[in-house]
Homo-oligomer: A and B are copies of this chain.
Amino acid sequence: MTRTVTSTERALAALRELILRGQFTAGARLGEVELAERLGVSRTPVREALTRLAAEGLVELVPNRGARVASWSVAELEGVFDLRSALEPRLTGLAVPRAQPADVAALEELAAEMLTVGLPGPHQDLDALVPLNRRFHGRLVVIADQSALATALAGAIHAPIQLRNFRAYDEASLRRSLAHHVEIVAAIRAGDPTWARAVMTAHIHNARAVMLRAAREQEAS
């Protein structure tokens, strides 16, 4: 009894993955016919996928002029990180009392794996860090089980995709970021929401500093 999946869903998932993986440069035009051919469906599901991605904030939709991959100015990025720092610590705090042992184990494994591929050494692979990071933060959202918060966050977490790799991080910031994940797991294991919230706040502000620096450099060029 495999649930049949509609073309729209496939197009949506495929497109989101393409964008998140950075297959398009920020601001790149997304022609409907081109995407339709590339994904092997007609324009109709492509259009629907595009409007949904626009709602997620991944693409920008201009009437009569089609879709572009979303991009953010430095000012907008500041707003986005401001938002994240309001929402994500709160979400983390809510997740603490709800986390099951399986959740903690999963988070712990993700955090450990990120240490492996994130730190300098033979296993370093900064690109592998991106999906792991997404899964870590995504898991927290699932645990918290707050649909309103989740949808509100969805629009914000995708924002820094244009600086989507971790190459923007200097080594000190990267080590901090990886350590934060581990510490968040520790706080959850200890059942201490205040601790978890605090670390998440630091985590986001650390990322904010890195991203804004990178965005400023990029904007200056």
Residues of A within 8 A of B (CB): 6, 9, 47-48, 51-52, 54-57, 63-64, 76, 79-80, 82-83, 86-87, 90, 146-149, 151-153, 155-156, 159
Contact A82 B52 (CB under 8 A): no
- Cβ-defined partner of A48 (8 Å) among B47, B56, B86, B149: B47
User: What are 19 A-B pairs at a CB distance below 8 A?
Assistant: A6-B64, A9-B63, A47-B48, A48-B51, A51-B52, A55-B56, A57-B151, A79-B146, A79-B147, A79-B149, A80-B148, A82-B146, A83-B87, A83-B152, A87-B152, A148-B155, A152-B153, A152-B155, A152-B156
How near does chain B come to A178, taking the closest CB pair, in angstroms? Answer: 26
* New contact pairs (12) apart from A48-B48, A48-B51, A148-B159, CB-CB < 8 Å: A6-B64, A47-B48, A51-B52, A52-B55, A76-B147, A82-B90, A83-B146, A83-B148, A83-B149, A83-B152, A86-B90, A151-B155
Copies of this chain per assembly: 2
Contact B76 A148 (CB under 8 A): yes
How near does chain B come to A87, taking the closest CB pair, in angstroms? Answer: 7
Q: Which residues of B contact A63 (CB under 8 A)?
A: 6, 9
A152 to B, closest residue via Cβ: B152
How near does chain B come to A101, taking the closest CB pair, in angstroms? Answer: 24
How near does chain B come to A91, taking the closest CB pair, in angstroms? Answer: 10
How near does chain B come to A209, taking the closest CB pair, in angstroms? Answer: 18
Bound CA span A52–B63, Å: 14
Q: Which residues of B contact A56 (CB under 8 A)?
A: 55
How near does chain B come to A176, taking the closest CB pair, in angstroms? Answer: 24
